[in-house]
Amino acid sequence: MELKPFRITRRRFLASSAATVATSGLYQVAPASGSSLAAARGPSRVIIDTDPGVDDALALLLAMRSPELKIEAITPVAGNVPLELTLPNALRMVEISGRTDIPVAAGAAGPLMRRLVTAAYAHGENGLGGAVFPEPKIRPVAEPAANLIREIVRKYPGEVTLLPIGPLTNIATALNLDSELAAMVRGIVMMGGSLSGGNITPAAEFNIYVDPEAARIVFQSGIPITMVGLDATRKTSLTEEHVRVLEVAQNPVSQAAAKIARNSINLNRERGFLVGPNMHDSLAVAGFLDPSLLTLKEYYVDVETIGELTAGETLGYSPRAGDLKRKSGTEKQDLNMSIRGSAPTLASTRISPVLRDRFVPNAKVAVDVDSPRFFDRLIGRLSGNK
């Protein structure tokens, strides 16, 4: 079958967004506290797209210790450190977890249209906070990540949730390869973005900043998205107490997690930070396992790709937020509110672009987290106590 590039029109976006809001399990009311989305329907098929990375590594270990997940593949991408480090780091976590049944496929070595910006300053030169592990013995599969993502989603249409916890280059590439793919993805639960300022620039969160063009493709794809960004993840600082619990537990996963966490805490202290590091990526995985950990609100989210000072900023629009709140009984008018682009300049004859002619949310955004319960799950799973 001939593959057509992924290009979404406004009409298709509105139709697909409305349909997915109505039908996707990710947009249902979150289960009660302590329950699990995956447990409610059996093991969930997922693909984890990642750029390990300290918090990515712990997120991978959490996922591979979670029986609620059927991990179909892990697809490393360049981000926190280059691909030549994220790929072996992912393979190391697979070996440590004893999950060599999971295929690992090398992804993109750089963003779609930009030069790679990394975060070795936060993750250490090797991506694991300086924690050293042996070279992995297992090898990645020959299939490129984007192709493998496409094959798995097509094999299980409507069943696979994508869990991207790095830049979205691999996901966007897969969507560009196959115009029908977006309609087959069950949903996306991602770590990335922010409605309250960035961590690489004042405007942008790192994962989106690295490849904003890829992020925009994903947010405009019509796939139901849960965005777990800095609004929630900034409240997940790892502590000495957490690390001590991991160090006491005598299993390979807890010992590896403790080693990475200890080195990362020391790196943070050397840089003058009083808290952290934050467990950004682990929260996205835990939020998929148990959405009741998160406070979620509906937004239309888009990504700035042009601004010199704001490239990679995620903009959340909601007619029910801020000064746009409506009085009771008029909420249905929200759907008639248009989403506009920038005002025209004096030198131009064009009018302000209407990006969406009515409000249709494309994402659930995590705006808060029950941090104690999150760490109870994370540290409990990694230590083998839960």
Q: What is 272-299 written as a DSSP string? A: T-SS--B-HHHHHHHHHH-GGGEEEEEE
Say which of 45, 150, 280, 364 is annotated catalytic: 280
Q: Which residues pair with 340 in a beta bridge?
A: 354
Could you tell me if 240 and 333 are in contact, meaning their C-beta atoms sit under 8 angstroms apart?
no
**CA–CA dist 229, 231 (Å, integer):** 5
For residue 162, CA distances in Å to 38, 39, 48, 80, 277 come to 14, 17, 6, 19, 25
**DSSP code, position 137:** S
**CA–CA dist 95, 53 (Å, integer):** 16
Query: The tokens of 247 are what?
Result: 């160090």
280 assigned to active site: yes
Check the CA dihedral 249-253-258-261 and report its sign.
Answer: negative
Positions marked catalytic: 280
